[in-house]
Structures are given as structure tokens and as C-alpha cells.
Amino acid sequence: MEAVVGLIVVGPMLAAAVALAVQHRPRIRDAVTIGTLATEAVLAAWLLAKVNSNGAVVLRVGDWTPELGIVLVADLFAALILTVALGTIFVVEVFAIGQRRTAWGADPELAGPLLLVLTAGVALSILTGDLFTLFVAFELILISSYVLLTHQGSRGQIQSGMTYVVMNMFASTLFLLGVAFVYRATGTVNIALLAQRIPELADGTRLGIGMWFLVVFGTKAAVFPLFSWLPDSYPTAPTTITAIFAGLLTKIGIYTLVRFNTLTGMEDLGPVILAVSALTMVVGVVGALAQDDVKRILSFHIVSQVGYMVMGLGLFTVAGVAATAFFLIHHMPVKTVLFLVGGLIEDEAGTSDLDNVGGLASRRPVVALLFALPALSLSGLPPFSGFVAKLALVDAGLAVASTPIVVVSLLVSVLTLLSMAKIWLGVFWGSPVDESSNIVVAVREAGASRGGRRLMVGTTGVAVLATLLIATFAGSLWDMSYRAATNLVDPSAYIAGVLS
């Protein structure tokens, strides 16, 4: 059991080394990448089943005591998010193999190994039980994301890549300083010990630490006003890479925000977090309405949706945190799938600019359907998973009479639907682009082989089906989210699990 927790982190790192060594042999390289990611997803699902029935699994690396060494903790919250995250990465990599045969694909010799390093970072940041290992995990994620974002070296990628790298490096430095402050104040970086010691600190010190890490994790999560790096940089990367970033990276920020703030009992920060959440929702969705490129609209939506997830945390109730957990489970796959559809549109029309695409619904009805289902889910319409997630949030908000934030969240939902309608009108309805124009012909020639395109559409189809299943199994998923949230809001079980 403990070995599996370790394997999930170490496996992708070893596989990345192998994939780099065989980078000039496409078949072996792809087999290693896909095989590892599939194994990871299966292991995570198995771990989730075990944790769900038997309780948290704790791995003490090198058998050191938790005060001195590194611990990996797979509690229910971690296992849930880990399973969804690794499953999402696997689906995107299958899509990427189809897309690599097109002009839009990433450089396969680098993208495969780097994706594996990113996977290791994601797994480590979810499972880690101490603050410094969390810093290292963030760096693993960020370094691979820097390279994935800029490895093609085009003008736009370098331009926005610079902003992305500088913003995130600054946040990482603040993180490191924060670790020093926490160590000075409490004498430990272990999260379970921090959960015991931080609530005992003087109010000023405690809130200082809380605000400091709100800025650090808030930059990773792209909350207002720290989101400016996101909408510029994400759309410039190849679709599959953007899809992974969109589905996972900011969510890891939210995950750590939730874990840190709930376990260390930062209830006093609730009003601050709620205010940030409202501003994030509104600014994100208004930004999306002003855009006219599919990928840019979707990128601004990430910001807006982050606001929702932070809202559940800001309530600091079990129902609120459970709603955030469920929102994460819903959002990671749905957002990723929408970006994959963006990739299909780009492959079909040669651009994701709304002005230059049109009438795709009649030409490719399947793509239209694949866009419509997750788009409606993201806007929060029944019977999709987005509806369940937003209902849970609104319900949790009303339970503690936080009416303003609930009103804002409902209003933003309507605006989300509006901007989804904008994509629909621009891409799927309207007059088709001129079939004989140079750009369309050029795209056709650069486009995917028939097999590659079929793989892309097929993968997206399966992924859309999987997101529909989230709504189908909402009952049991909600039940798990709720139990996970209970153990976060009352950390005694977590502390006992790690320290005993």
C-alpha cells in the first residue's frame, strides 16, 4: 500500500528518463509515455478505492520520523484529486499522439518526457505532507511547464512565456521566504505538525503567515488580482499542453490553498477569501466576454471558475469545502475537454479566431456536439456535473447566509453561458469560411492524417462521456467529497494518521 504511494511519484520520473533516452524512436517513446500514464491512472484509482474503505495511507520516506523526514499522505481528498488529475493527463496524452501528426502538435521528442516530469510534480504536490516538499513539487511542475510553454520558441510563446516565468518564479521565491517564516515561528515544515502549532501562534503571526501563503498559492491558482499571467500565456502553447495546464495547474494551486488553510485553521481569513473569490469570478467572466478567440475565451473562464472553487473554501464550512472538492473533480476534466475541442476546431478550420471560423455545425456536427455538452456543463446547466457543483456551492453559501457571494456566483453563471453562446455563434453557426481560400487548403495539407484525426475525435468523445459520468455518479462522489472535507475542517484524524 505505502509502496504504491511512492511509486506514483517516482514512476513517472524514471519513465521520463527512459523516454528521453529513446526520444528518437517514436514508437517506443510513445509506448513508454502512454504505458506509464495509464499505469499511474489505474494505480491512483486503486489507491482511491483503498483509501475510501480503509482510511488514509501514510508513507514515511526512508523511515524517518515525520518531524525530520519527508512524508507522503494519501488521505481521501488527495486520493480523489489525484485520480481525476492522472486520468485527465492520460486522456490528453492519447489525444496528443493523434495531434502530433499535425502542424499544431507539440514537439514530440520533448513533450512526452516533460509531461511525465509534470505528472510526477502533480502527484508529489498532491501527496506531500510537508511544506518544503510542496515547494519542490511546485518547482517540478513549473520547470516542466516553462519548457513545455516555450519549447517551440515562436515570438508569441517567448513574449508571454517571459511574463509567465517571471510571475511564477517570483511566487516561488515568496513561497521559499514563507517556508523560512513558518520554520522560524513553529520549528517545523511538516503539515500535520503545523496543523497543531499554527493555531497556537499569536494572532498577528498566524494571520501574517496565512496572508503570505494566500498570495503564494493565490498566484498559482490565478485568483484576482494575481491572474494576469494566465490568459496571455496559455493560448500560445499547442492545444494539448494548454489543455493540461488549464485542467491541472491552477487546480493544484487551489488544492494546496484548501489543504493549507483548512488544516491550519485559518477561518479568520474567510471574508478576505470570499472577497477575492467574488472579484475573481466577475473579472474573469467579463474578460472572457471581451475576447474573440476560442482559446482566449476559455482561458479567461479558467480565472472565473477559480473564483467558484475559492468561494467554497472562503465559507470554511464542511459543506463549502466539500463543494470546492466536488467542483475540482468536475472542473479538471470538463475544462480539459473544452480545450481539446478547441484543438479540434483549430485542426478543422486552421485557426481558433472567431472571425475566421464559421458554419462548423453543418460540416462537423460531431465536433459541435462535443463542444456543446461540456460547455453547458461549465455554465452549470442541469443535468450536467457543473450544475451539481454549483448547486452544492450555492447551498453551502445559503446555509451560512452569505447571500452576496451567492448572488454574484449566480450572475456570473449567466455571463458564462453568454460567452459560451458567443463561441457557439462564431464557430458553429454563421456562414462557413471559404473552402477554396489559401489558408483552408494549407491547413488541410498540414492537417492530421485520417487516423490521427479519428484518434483525436475519438479521445475527445470518450472524455466527454467520462465527464457525463461525473453527473451520473454525483451521489457517491459527493459523499466522498463530504467525508474528505470533514477530515480537512477537523484535522485531528489527519494529524493522528501522520504522527502516530
**In terms of CB distance, is 27 or 184 closer to other proteins?**
184
Contacts with other proteins by CB under 8 A: the residue count is 34
**In terms of CB distance, is 105 or 161 closer to other proteins?**
161
Helices (H), 103-244: 108-127, 131-150, 155-186, 191-197, 203-221, 229-233, 239-244
The window from 41-49, 93-101, 160-168, 384-392 that contacts other proteins (CB under 8 A) reads: 160-168
Cis bond upstream, residue 383 (ω within 30): yes
DSSP 249: I
65 lines the binding site for other proteins (CB under 8 A): no
Distances (CA, A) of 38 to 32, 214, 248, 325: 10, 34, 17, 24
Distance in angstroms (rounded) separating the CA atoms of residues 130 and 259: 11
Residue 492, burial from CB neighbour count under 10 angstroms (0-12, 13-18, 19+)? exposed
212 lines the binding site for other proteins (CB under 8 A): no
421 lines the binding site for other proteins (CB under 8 A): no
417 lines the binding site for other proteins (CB under 8 A): no
**Residues constituting the chain:** 500
Rule CB under 8 A: choose which of 144, 150, 250, 416 binds other proteins: 150
Rule CB under 8 A: choose which of 65, 173, 437, 472 binds other proteins: 173
**In terms of CB distance, is 130 or 346 closer to other proteins?**
130
**Cell for 484?**
474528505
> Do the beta carbons of residue 324 and residue 258 sit within 8 Å?
yes
The window from 30-38, 148-156, 318-326, 414-422 that contacts other proteins (CB under 8 A) reads: 148-156
180 lines the binding site for other proteins (CB under 8 A): yes
160 lines the binding site for other proteins (CB under 8 A): yes
351 lines the binding site for other proteins (CB under 8 A): no
403 lines the binding site for other proteins (CB under 8 A): no
161 lines the binding site for other proteins (CB under 8 A): yes
163 lines the binding site for other proteins (CB under 8 A): yes
Distance in angstroms (rounded) separating the CA atoms of residues 275 and 231: 21
Rule CB under 8 A: choose which of 107, 232, 267, 353 binds other proteins: 232
Helices 318-349 and 450-472 cross at an angle (nearest 10°) of 160
Q: How far is the CB of 268 from other proteins (least distance, A)?
A: 24
Please name which of 193, 217, 219, 197 lies closest in space to residue 206, comparing C-alpha atoms: 197
Q: How far is the CB of 290 from other proteins (least distance, A)?
A: 8
Distance in angstroms (rounded) separating the CA atoms of residues 371 and 375: 6
**In terms of CB distance, is 132 or 429 closer to other proteins?**
132
Q: How far is the CB of 333 from other proteins (least distance, A)?
A: 28
Distances (CA, A) of 370 to 330, 361, 460: 16, 11, 7
136 lines the binding site for other proteins (CB under 8 A): yes
Distance in angstroms (rounded) separating the CA atoms of residues 140 and 123: 10
Binding residues vs other proteins (CB under 8 A): 68, 132, 135-136, 139, 143, 146-147, 150, 153, 155, 158-163, 165-166, 169-170, 173, 176-177, 179-181, 183-184, 189, 228, 231-232, 287
